[in-house]
Amino acid sequence: MSQRPSRVHIREVGPRDGFQNEPEHIPTDDKVRLINELGRTGLKRIEVASFVRPDVIPQLADGAEVLRRVEVPEDVRLMTLIPNNRGLDNALKVRETFHEAAIFVSASETHNKKNVNRTVEESMRENAVVARRIREEGLGCAAVIATSFGCPYEGEVKLDRVLEIAERFAEAGATELGFGDTTGMANPAYASEFFTAAVERLRGVEITAHFHNTRGQGLANAFAALEAGCASFESSFGELGGCPVPPGSTGNIATEDLVSMFHEMGVQTGLSLPGVIDAARSAQAVLGRKLTSHSIVAGPVEWATSHN
């Protein structure tokens, strides 16, 4: 069994994956302010924008402006999500504002068709071209495989199929491979099996776990991935997010809850937990509703024990 990592990397995806699911328009000023606040928590990687068509996800139509205006420490790397060649064309108009670009596909044919109206093979052919262009620009290239742990339309998604897609991404030049539990179908036993196999088979690339808390198993799955040797995670402050296809797929695991768990286990993240909680509470105020993470309500363990 792989040795548990003593330190992990966390990418904050709330400003993209989280905001895209919000039905009410979030003003650009508020987005910039929240990203700047996240940038002061010790985060080194933040996913900020997606260059999808504005009519598809209107909430992210101001992505270029957000990128131009954010002011985060110089060592914070900003990522954008790139759906296709046209999306990359638009992103490159503000090339100087970000450091990494992510391409994506669903492991499930049905989900990929509903999400981007293409077969998996069609998406992979264009992804290979986009990946080459990303590398030629000197940008970091990450690849994300949605529905890696199951599909709401097809059910089980074979582990070998997911890893074969991952190998194709690596061959195309991706240096990071993210595995998305898009609608919260993973369980800890399978997460352990999955990441044990992924760590063994996909050597030389960074392997990232992206879990959703749709059915309350997100942190347990993250723990299982950690025990299997995974040292890179994505999460969203306030447990924002979810998948727009299909409805009912609720948020990502909360960054503050993930950091709280890791810190209590002695796993280093480099993040200020009180800072992340404050940022999540700021998002709660902007959205005007209660968010669902536990740490927003309870605070860190050290706060609780200091008052006993």
Profile the chain (308 residues) by mean pLDDT over runs of 10 residues: 88 96 94 98 98 93 98 98 97 98 98 96 98 98 97 96 98 98 95 98 97 94 98 97 72 96 97 97 96 92 55
Report pLDDT for 305: 52
- The answer to whether residue 239 is domain-embedded is yes
Report pLDDT for 217: 96
- The answer to whether residue 96 is domain-embedded is yes
Report pLDDT for 1: 54
Each residue's pLDDT tens digit, 63-111: 999 999 999 999 999 999 999 999 999 999 999 999 999 999 999 999 9
Report pLDDT for 245: 66
Domain residue limits at 79: 9-306
Report pLDDT for 307: 39
- The answer to whether residue 296 is domain-embedded is yes
Could you give the number of structural domains in the chain? 1
Report pLDDT for 248: 64
Report pLDDT for 247: 66
Report pLDDT for 277: 97
Report pLDDT for 302: 73
Each residue's pLDDT tens digit, 262-291: 999 999 999 999 999 999 999 999 999 999
Reply yes or no on whether 243 is catalytic. yes
- The answer to whether residue 3 is domain-embedded is no
Q: What is the 3-state secondary structure (H, E, C) of the chain?
A: CCCCCCECEEEECHHHHHHHHCCCCCCHHHHHHHHHHHHCCCCCEEEEEECCCCCCCHHHCCHHHHHHHCCCCCCCEEEEECCCHHHHHHHHHHHHHCCEEEEEEECCHHHHHHHHCCCHHHHHHHHHHHHHHHHHCCCEEEEEEECCCCECCCECCCHHHHHHHHHHHHHHCCCEEEEECCCCCCCHHHHHHHHHHHHHHCCCCEEEEECECCCCCHHHHHHHHHHCCCCEEEEEHHHCCCECCCCCECCECEHHHHHHHHHHCCCECCCCHHHHHHHHHHHHHHHCCCCCCHHHHHCCHHHHHHCC
Q: Which of 141, 151, 230, 243 is catalytic?
A: 243
- The answer to whether residue 1 is domain-embedded is no
User: Domain containing 160 — which CATH number?
Assistant: 3.20.20.70
Report pLDDT for 77: 98
- The answer to whether residue 4 is domain-embedded is no
- The answer to whether residue 206 is domain-embedded is yes
